[in-house]
Amino acid sequence: MSKEVKIVFQPSGRIVHALPGTIILEAAALAGFIIHTPCGGTGKCGKCIVRLRSGNCPPTEPEIAVLGKTRIAEGFRLACMARITDPVTIEVPDSSLFQTHQQILTTDTGDRLEVRPRVRKTVIQIPPPFSHEILSDIERLRAVGVSAPLTLPALRALPHALRSPDSRLTVVQVDNDVIALEPGDTSASCYGIAFDIGSTTLVGTLVDLMTGKDVAVAARVNPQTSFGDDVITRIQKCRSEKNGLAQLQSSVLEGVNRIIDELERNARVSRLSVYEVVFAGNTTMQQILCGIDPSALGELPFAPAFRDALEFTAADLPLHVHPCAKVYVFPQIGGFVGGDTTAGIVATRLDRVTAPTLLVDIGTNGEIVLKHGERMLATSVAAGPAFEGARITNGMRATSGAIEKVIIDGDVSLNVIGNAKPAGLCGTGLIDVAAELLRVGILDETGRILPPDECPAGLSPALLARLVEDKEETHFLLVPKKDSATGEPILLYQRDIRELQLANAAIRAGINILLKMAGVDASELGAILLAGGFGNFIRRNHARRIGMLPPIPCDKIRFVGNTSSFGAKRVLLSTQEKDYTSRVVRQVQHVDLSLDPEFQLEFSTAMLFPNEG
Amino acid sequence: MSKEVKIVFQPSGRIVHALPGTIILEAAALAGFIIHTPCGGTGKCGKCIVRLRSGNCPPTEPEIAVLGKTRIAEGFRLACMARITDPVTIEVPDSSLFQTHQQILTTDTGDRLEVRPRVRKTVIQIPPPFSHEILSDIERLRAVGVSAPLTLPALRALPHALRSPDSRLTVVQVDNDVIALEPGDTSASCYGIAFDIGSTTLVGTLVDLMTGKDVAVAARVNPQTSFGDDVITRIQKCRSEKNGLAQLQSSVLEGVNRIIDELERNARVSRLSVYEVVFAGNTTMQQILCGIDPSALGELPFAPAFRDALEFTAADLPLHVHPCAKVYVFPQIGGFVGGDTTAGIVATRLDRVTAPTLLVDIGTNGEIVLKHGERMLATSVAAGPAFEGARITNGMRATSGAIEKVIIDGDVSLNVIGNAKPAGLCGTGLIDVAAELLRVGILDETGRILPPDECPAGLSPALLARLVEDKEETHFLLVPKKDSATGEPILLYQRDIRELQLANAAIRAGINILLKMAGVDASELGAILLAGGFGNFIRRNHARRIGMLPPIPCDKIRFVGNTSSFGAKRVLLSTQEKDYTSRVVRQVQHVDLSLDPEFQLEFSTAMLFPNEG
């Protein structure tokens, strides 16, 4: 194994370790920074500028061409080109970052994040209580121009707020309701939370509704995973157990509320200053979160309970925010294509692109949207949890100890998350090793790991020594037991490749069906937008090599970040975005693959790895 | 003591015991039946017909005149005239009863109870689930014509209801919201509850919203009484203790929810079929119930938090009914004149009477409204809990064992509730004994119980023997210890008379101030309407004798029942009554006696009993 080198990012001070040869773009992603690459990471647009603050990093030809020798000498580099060789400190300017997520908008340019929230705070000067006529508290409020109806909690706060020694009070209005009254001037504290509710991961972003800025982000594993990895097992639980839905709902609610607690703690913001919460998730997740039985999603015709956005009150769940806070749940497209896909379309403005474009969110459930002409076609495929490291013998999630990158040359080089000893293989590592084994010829197109005597000539003895024969099958040794964290060897088993093939084929078959329906050839695609936490860490050439994505140039494959979170944030920040969301979701046609006889055929074909030999 | 006789009422079979000489009207009231007396109980209108089924009851002259000899011979009597002499069985026809409360409308004639509730149930035929296009559950509901927005609980019920084997579902709509969806046809089960929230007593009436009929009634002592008898002590608790309001609110909510539980049990009606709840109570009770701090009612200018009706959702409290049930809280008039008084005006149509009329609700807090010309003036007085038997040495509530009636002739005759040994004196008994002692001259107009040597000549030795001298004061022995339930003598103490004088004077002073403000002389009054549980048991001549009411003919003093409950029921049953309530409350001017320098003067004067000697 090559030795990893230490990379320090400024101004945050975050530290990661990566293999020599890693491009800065990927090292930054490891550190949690998504850098903007409008040209698709081809070193042409010069948008992904970073600056070396210490250490050495030899410039490449495209960098010198784009930046000029002077700026190169000053330490400027392009994150998509420059490769780590030695320990370095790198400054990432805000302008190159996804900090406000604005940069994920690869599909249209110049689009700004609109801040026009439904929550408004108004500070009122309280008139003296006594006059010739005795007014009730509400009448005194009306007298200073507050005419909207009060919720019961707002009315409960009124007597105290009116008698605040400050002689001012703050009216919190959402749409046409006064939901809170606060003593004094609290206009600076006005927050919302945008949630991405994934089958596996929950992500909450606390947003300042006045400025539109992110204040804190927190993520947790969805506690529902203890009841099963994918949505099907959870639907089954609702169908078969009397308290199944209640259990699953309280489980995800607990996760959501813990995230809220964490956001409150980290940002030092009172939960009572959170007045709106927006949720985006797939249909099953959204329905369970709301306590709406998803059983009908487990049988033909896979009908969701609702299509348009839902709105209700935080106390209805309840959430650990202001009890009258508004809750918005994203509109659903149909079947398993839910609010997260809607949010993805909203985040990327997919409806406005001109060339045929795919939006692909790879997760336990894969969602695919094809924009072509005036139409959008959307479908979902059950990729299974292989990309999350589940059902892989030595698989694990992309956390500390996970092998997230594999390079095969004369031997195997690994990159492990968190500078730890390797403990297992996460999704990106799995794709890497499959793609690399395909390239060197150890894996054939049917997905069989070849025994040493069938391998192509010229493989190094070191590689051949890693092939472990076991009855009819062959496995591949990634880490011998002396180097592993667990003291056990880490192997890629033949059956792990089968799991990967299933996940891979599901996504590719989904893509192929949509392309066929629209009459679009892969070569006509203007772009493939890869969304979701996992999508952002895939090596594009490898995803293409194993056939998950159609054979298009790598620069047309673009990472667009967590579009579910970002779409939710857009809607949280603006009533116009809510209107836009309602409109755009009606332009999407849901394609139910379970009813499509061609899907099985496409799926079988896609089980084979592409033959690029 | 005279021996009580047994009276059986048919068709209910209820049994009470009363002193010989009691009129049937009063005996019926003891049994819980309020009989309609439009003429004020003067034997003229012939509306209070009852029929003797066994036993003897000599007819009076007015009965013979109104009913004729034939019907007299058939056993018909007038409840307001016929006096019990022997054990009897009496049939009370529905037409003479307050069964639907319609009869309390002594102030206008021919007025019917309007049944036009805001809750509507519609039964829907469910179309088959499959069509060429897959619809979400909500879209299927829209397709059969249900266009109103769904609450979250209704949406939660939708997947199950849509797949009901019955192929029908019932939509429950309140105003413009679908609050529930029920599998099958549930249109026959549609209920509401009208609550009277008194400082001392809580009364709930379960009403069928389709027919307008009462289904069950339940009453409990307000559990808040454990924190203090009157509203002032409860306001003080909110002002001085951090959790005072929360404690008081959960206390009254527990009482309300226990009543709901009892109504559910007795009527065999599911709590989930209760879709609206209406509350009428004084300002303090209403605010505490809603969790709105009443502290401002404890200081100048005694401002209530709200004036217009409040509307919210059962889950906001929460109540043991459908979580989306609508809650309506009556509009408040000002200061301590609250929703119960508004309900009283609505119940009696006080705004529509032509002659000057007083509506008096006697309780711990006494509320008085004077209608004159186009105006209504309303005020409240702190009568204290004397009428509830509290702060009276041997006082008790009007329950089993309470002396509820006292007649003084040569000696003392008592009527005890529940045919039990006497245990104490309730409010009506207290008024009786005071009025009777005044009449025979043992009590003077200053309220002093005279010692034997100052008593008028000619009193029986039995009466004189009941006077107990104690230092400077004299007390009156009602029950010797051998006859009492407790084994202790029951006495009326001098200080008990003082308590009665305070309560009495408060009400009379309130009445006098309103009459003065309106420039109305007592003799011009068309009627005094006595409302509230207590008011219905007072002997009118005694209330007048002790000066609680101005000296007007007894037939102008009318019992109008629990107008708070009845007004709440009217509003529960009809949206038009809600509109009427909003209008009528604006016609009432609140009179704050705490700011009126004349009140103390009137109060001092009213401390003296009238001199009718």
Which residues from A are below 8 Å from B292, CB to CB? 155-156, 158-159
State pLDDT tens for residues B144-181.
888 899 999 999 999 999 888 888 999 999 988 999 99
> Of chain B residues 334-363, which have a CB less than 8 A from chain A?
334-335
**Confidence (pLDDT) at A248:** 96
For residue A104, being part of any structural domain is answered with no
Question: Do A65 and A143 lie in a common domain?
Answer: no
Residue with tokens 């089960």, as numbered in its chain: B189
Answer yes or no: is pLDDT of A483 > 60.
yes
Nearest-neighbour CA in chain A from B133: distance (Å): 10
Burial group, residue B485, by CB count within 10 angstroms (0-12, 13-18, 19+): middle
Query: Do A156 and B312 make contact, defined as CB atoms within 8 angstroms?
Result: no
Kindly state whether B158 is in contact with chain A, defined as any CB-CB distance less than 8 angstroms.
yes
Which residue type sits at B464?
L
If asked whether residues A478 and A507 sit together in one domain, one would say: no
Chain B: residue whose CA lies nearest to A154: B292
CATH number of the domain encompassing residue A14: 3.10.20.30
Per-residue pLDDT tens over the stretch A95-107: 776 433 322 222 2
Q: What is the pLDDT of residues B87-140, one digit of tens each?
A: 999 998 877 764 333 222 222 333 567 889 999 999 988 877 666 677 899 998
* Dihedral sign for Cα atoms in the order B412, B418, B421, B425: negative
* A504/A399 Cα distance (integer angstroms): 22
Q: Tell whether A290 is within 8 A of chain B (Cβ).
A: yes
Q: Which residue has the higher pLDDT, A36 or B9?
A: B9
On the question of pLDDT at A114 being above 90, the answer is no
| CATH number for the domain that contains residue A274 | 3.30.420.480
Tell me: the pLDDT tens digits for B527-536?
Answer: 999 987 676 6
Across the strands, what pairs with A168? Answer: A125
The answer to whether residue A106 is domain-embedded is no
> Residue A44 pLDDT more than 90?
no
Torsion of CA B521, B524, B527, B532, to 10 degrees: -10
Question: Which positions ≥6 away from A498 have C-beta within 8 Å?
Answer: A447
Same domain, A215 and A307: yes
pLDDT score, position B377: 97
Chosen for mutation from B249, B306, B586 (greatest number of chain A CBs closer than 10 Å) is B306
Same domain, A361 and A506: yes
Residue A3's pLDDT is 73
pLDDT band at residue A37 under the 50/70/90 scheme = low
In angstroms, what separates the C-alpha of B333 from chain A's closest C-alpha? 9
Inter-chain touch B303–A590, beta carbons under 8 Å: no
Position A275 scores a pLDDT of: 97
- Pair (A413, A544) in one structural domain: no
In sequence order, the 6+-apart residues with CB closer than 8 A to the CB of A548 are A362, A431, A504, A507, A508
The answer as to whether A85 is a domain residue is yes
Of B138, B155, B291, the CB nearest to A156: B291
Residue ending a domain, choose from B183, B217, B234? B183
Helices assigned H by DSSP within B39-151? 61-73, 137-143
Beta pairing class for B119-125 and B310-313: unpaired
Residue located via tokens 């970073």: A50
CATH number at residue B536: 3.30.420
According to DSSP H, which parts of A14-78 are helical? 24-30, 61-73
Q: Is residue A336 domain-resident?
A: no
Question: Pseudo-torsion of CA B490, B495, B497, B502, nearest 10°?
Answer: -140
pLDDT at A1: 47
Q: Does any CB of chain B come closer than 8 Å to the CB of residue A38?
A: no
Q: Is B600 exposed, middle or buried (0-12, 13-18, 19+ CB in 10 A)?
A: exposed
User: B134–A292: do the CB atoms touch at under 8 Å?
Assistant: no
Is there a single domain that holds both residue B321 and residue B201?
A: yes
Residues B54 and B14 in one domain: yes
Choice between A99 and B468, residue whose per-residue pLDDT is larger = B468
> Is B304–A156 a contact, with Cβ atoms under 8 angstroms apart?
no
Q: Which of A137, A293, A307 sits opposite B136 (nearest CB)?
A: A307
Radius of gyration of chain B (CA): 26
- For strands B310-313 and B274-281, give the pairing: unpaired
Q: How far A360 CA lies from chain B's nearest CA (Å)?
A: 23
pLDDT in tens, A227-278: 877 888 899 999 999 999 999 999 999 999 999 999 999 999 999 999 999 9
Calpha distance A586→A378 (Å, rounded): 12
Q: Report the C-alpha gap between A558 and A565 in whole angstroms.
A: 17
Average pLDDT, stretch B552-558?
Answer: 89
User: Are the CB atoms for B293 and A159 separated by under 8 Å?
Assistant: yes
Let me know if residue A560 belongs to a domain.
Answer: yes
CATH code at position B128: 3.10.20.880
B612: Cβ–Cβ under 8 A, 6 or more apart, which residues? B438, B545
Biggest CA pair distance of chain A: 103
**Chain B residues closer than 8 Å to A249 by CB:** none
Using alpha carbons, list the distances in angstroms from residue A79 to A57, A516, B99: 11, 37, 85
- SS3 per residue for B556-612: HEEECCCHHHHHHHHHHHEHHHHHHHHHHHCCEEECCHHHCHHHHHHHHHHCCCCCC
Q: Is residue B367 part of a domain?
A: yes
Claim to verify: residue A486 and residue A467 sit in the same structural domain: yes
Flag whether residue A592 sits within 8 Å of chain B, measured between CB atoms. yes
Backbone angles phi, psi at A250, to 5 degrees: -70, -30
**Residue B315 forms contact with A (CB below 8 Å):** yes
Query: CA B428: distance to chain centroid?
Result: 15
Phi, psi of B78 (to 5 degrees): -100, 125
Determine the length of chain B: 613
Query: What does the pLDDT read at residue B232?
Result: 87
Say yes or no: A155 contacts chain B, CB-CB below 8 A.
Answer: yes
Q: Could you give the percent of chain A with pLDDT greater than 90? A: 63
- Is A160 in the B-facing interface, judged by CB distances under 8 Å? yes
Same domain, A454 and A488: yes
* Paired tokens of A127: 């008139």
Instruction: Determine whether the interchain pair B303/A160 forms a contact, defined as Cβ–Cβ distance below 8 Å.
Output: no
Specify the pLDDT at position B436: 94
CB A428 within 8 A of CB A539: yes
Whether residue A158 and residue B305 make contact (CB cut-off 8 A), yes or no, is yes
Q: How far apart are CA B284 and CA B293, in angstroms?
A: 9
Those residues with Cβ within 8 angstroms of residue B551's Cβ, 6 or more apart along the chain or in another chain? B522, B544, B610
Q: Checking DSSP bridges between strand B214-221 and strand A490-492, what pairing results, if any? A: unpaired
Q: For the sheet containing B88-91, what is the strand order?
A: B14-18, B5-10, B88-91, B49-54, B76-78
Percent of chain A clearing pLDDT 70 (strictly above) = 94
User: CA-CA distance, B368 to B530, in Å (whole number)?
Assistant: 10
Contact yes or no for A268/A320 (Cβ under 8 A): no
Residue A421 lies in a domain: yes
What's the mean per-residue pLDDT of chain A? Answer: 89
Q: Average of pLDDT values for A487-495? A: 94
Q: Show the DSSP H helices in B152-297 as ranges.
A: 152-162, 231-240, 244-267, 283-290
Q: End-to-end alpha-carbon separation of chain B, Å?
A: 27
Q: Are A323 and A314 in contact (CB under 8 A)?
A: yes
Provide the domain count of chain B.
5
Looking at residue B109, its pLDDT comes to 32
More confident residue, B30 or A146: A146
Same domain, B575 and B602: yes
Residues A253 and A285 in one domain: yes
Name which residue leads in pLDDT, A39 or A344: A344
SS3 label, residue B501? helix
Beta strands B49-54 and B88-91, pairing class: antiparallel
Q: What value does the mean pLDDT of chain B take? A: 89
pLDDT for position B104: 29
Contact in structure between A37 and A25 (CB atoms under 8 Å): yes
Q: Are A469 and A454 in contact (CB under 8 A)?
A: no
CA distance B332 to B446: 37
pTM for this structure? 0.78
Tokens of B492: 């009326």
pLDDT digits (tens, 9 = 90+) for A548-566: 999 999 889 988 888 999 9
> Which residues are CB-contacts of A547 (< 8 A; sequence separation ≥ 6)?
A504, A505, A508, A606, A608, A609, A610
C-beta atoms surrounding B295 within 10 Å: 20
Q: CA A184, CA A166: separation in Å to the nearest integer? A: 5
Could you tell me the residue range of the domain that residue A458 belongs to?
394-492
Same domain for A463 and A575, yes or no, is no
Asked if residue B163 belongs to a domain, the reply is: yes
